[in-house]
Chains A and B, each alone.
Chain A
Amino acid sequence: MRIRFEPRIEAAIKDIQKKSNLPRWKILLALEGDERFKKKIPEKIWQEAISLVEKDHKEPIELTMLKARFGQAGAIANRVQKVHHRHPTFLEKLGDITVKPLIGLPIAVIILMGVFKFFITAAGFITDKIMTPFFEGPYDVFIHFLVEGTFPKGFIHDMLIGTPGAGYLESFGVLTTGIFVPIGIVLPAVLIFYIILTLLEDVGYLPRLAILVDTIFHRIGLHGYSIIPVILSFGCNVPGVMATRILTSDKQRFMMLTLLGISIPCTAQTAVILRVIGPFGLGWVILIYLILMTIFVTTGSILNRALKGTAPEIAIEIPPYRLPRISNLMMKTGLRIKQFLLEAIPWVFVGIILVNTLHTLGITVYLSRISGPLMGRWLGLPEEAIYPLIIGFLRKDVATGLLTPLLNKNIMNFYQAMVAVTILVIYFPCAATFVVFLKELGIKGTIKSTFIMLVVAFGIGGLLHLIFSLFAL
């Protein structure tokens, strides 16, 4: 049953076996470099046994064992298989082309644009055509009946329903906004992104994309596969943050989380950009995304140098292209959605309750009063714009509702709106992300990350204000 190694190695194995009564397979793994079993063999015995082999091969024992076992595996394979030469199939040629930079990068850009286009139309459709009518229709009647009956007035009522009459975005009640945002807005966005991601994964395009973007990510100490959390975060930062688990070192994970929080706008943030800045022309919207991208790279490279820890290089196998199987696609997406619902929704809920209590207790109003002057002078924003920025820290969608009227009644000019929106987008996307940060990074990590975020937010805000005021706008 066992495969024999060369005599000297077998002798070493027997020698250790005699002196340490460890089973053969543990000794073999120890010889191949498994620390856990190697510790079980006293140093003296270990040295004696391997000295002969190492003298013979002039390389560490682990390497000799590795090559020996690999040689056996290769030998068996060659004995049992016949390989007929054949020209590469169409899929293989396509596979190689899409990874070559000259052709691959443009294709990648097209695919990503297509992904976002599909996302915006599909997620928008579900939210507007399915979710909103349902929430504002039967669901609304149901909860009003439920709550009005038991808590007609008072604190509990405000907590559950929030300001009556306001739409499902601004009403702020736990049962209104608290349910509508995670289910009505976030869920469709996440659903679409998971479908896209699983499709890219099953087809085998994801590793190729990771390699194409690895150069940029490597500059800031991450590797190509971090494109996955980035794509996911455009849907919602909560799954994006959860996806950072694929990154190995803690340093990479901290950097990735901070960068996601700062420069990757989630659905709500994208909505703020489109609704407030959109009417002023696509050019300005693209400018904001360009600013975010530069922040992503610059903050990334600064953090990369500042933080100690390694940045391992990418070394992966690229699977051949395969036709995706619908059953497998549905199964995987279903599992990911189920996991998102079980893990993420509770945090979104906690986040909203947190904001509600702050809001109803009036703490947010107090906060905006004390930080008013600072914001005013440094960012050149009118007094009225301060409150949306504070509340916007935890609720982006609400900020839109508060900023647009200021703009229309031109209490705030367009350039001040640009500064305000840029800061809003740099902030934590929403309370849920803040809470998930706590879960993933712990208190200390979150504080550090938040500090970096505030520095970047006000730094960029101040800079923009400076630039705009230079042009005497």
Chain B
Amino acid sequence: MGNPNVGKSVIFNRLTGIKVIISNYPGTTVEFLEGSIIIEGKKMKIVDAPGTYSLIPSDKAGEAAVNLLLKEKTDLIINVVDSTNLGRNLYLTLQLRELFIPLILDLNMVDVAREQGIEIDIPALSKELKVSVVSTVAISGEGIRELRKAAAEILKRDEK
């Protein structure tokens, strides 16, 4: 989940195996990708939801993303955020946190943020939101391993 244009699909490609299919979410004509991801040996379904600025959708894409989240049983949300525009992206994060579904905050495009002179104190952010935070550069694949590790930890902790 995340705002449009933050690199969700690129991260999705990095995480999923080869098998990626396009499926139209029933009811709307917004396409989104479903794929599979292996975590701790367990095969799980992962979905690249369309971009939305808030849980209250202002367009069809947003509606599809929200319906997907609320209707299907979701074990973990990977909230991809554009690090160059943290303030605006956190709006959706705060809403997602209220849902009590385990959440990982993925600060993507940190390379672009660094270029723009933006430095983000990740431990502080994690403490503020009480959510695990990783930083990635989806295009080059930097940080994807940490993202997988963080996902595995949360899902394991969840099973206990």
Contact = CB atoms under 8 A, between A and B. Distances in A.
Whether A and B touch (Cβ < 8 Å) is answered with: yes
A245 B30 contact: yes
B87 A74 contact: yes
Contacts of B87: 73-74, 77-78
Interface in A273-296: none
Nearest to A244: B29
B10 A317 contact: no
Contacts of B112: 320, 322
A328 B130 contact: no
A339 B99 CA distance: 34
B125 A80 contact: yes
A80 B98 contact: no
A19 interface: no
A75 to B, nearest CB: 9
B90 to A, nearest CB: 4
Contact of B56 (A1, A34, A79, A319): A34
A86 B117 contact: yes
Interface stretch (A25-33, A121-129, A345-353): A25-33
B77 to A, nearest CB: 13
B130 A1 contact: yes
A85 B117 contact: yes
A169 B139 CA distance: 44
B118 A81 contact: yes
Indicate the size class of the contact surface on chain B.
35 or more
Given A70-B91, A317-B4, A317-B5, A83 B117 contact: yes
Contacts of B91: 69-70, 73
Contacts of B128: 76, 79-80
A24 interface: yes
B148 interface: no
A44 interface: no
Given A33-B56, A77-B86, A83-B117, A339 B29 contact: no
A89 interface: yes
A24 B100 CA distance: 10
A341 B20 CA distance: 16
B93 A248 contact: no
Interface in B122-160: 122, 124-125, 128-130, 139
Which of A1, A3, A28, A81 counts the most chain B CB atoms within 10 A?
A81
A100 interface: no
Contact of B60 (A79, A83, A248, A327): A248
Contacts of B97: 1-3
Interface in A56-74: 69-70, 72-74
B27 to A, nearest CB: 13
Interface of B: 4-5, 9-10, 13, 20, 22, 29-31, 33, 54-56, 59-60, 84, 86-91, 93-95, 97-100, 112, 115-122, 124-125, 128-130, 139
17 contacts: A1-B130, A25-B95, A29-B95, A73-B91, A73-B94, A79-B124, A80-B120, A80-B125, A80-B128, A81-B118, A83-B116, A83-B118, A84-B119, A322-B112, A325-B139, A335-B33, A338-B22
Given A1-B130, A2-B98, A32-B56, 9 more contacts: A2-B97, A33-B56, A73-B89, A80-B128, A81-B120, A86-B116, A89-B116, A248-B59, A338-B22
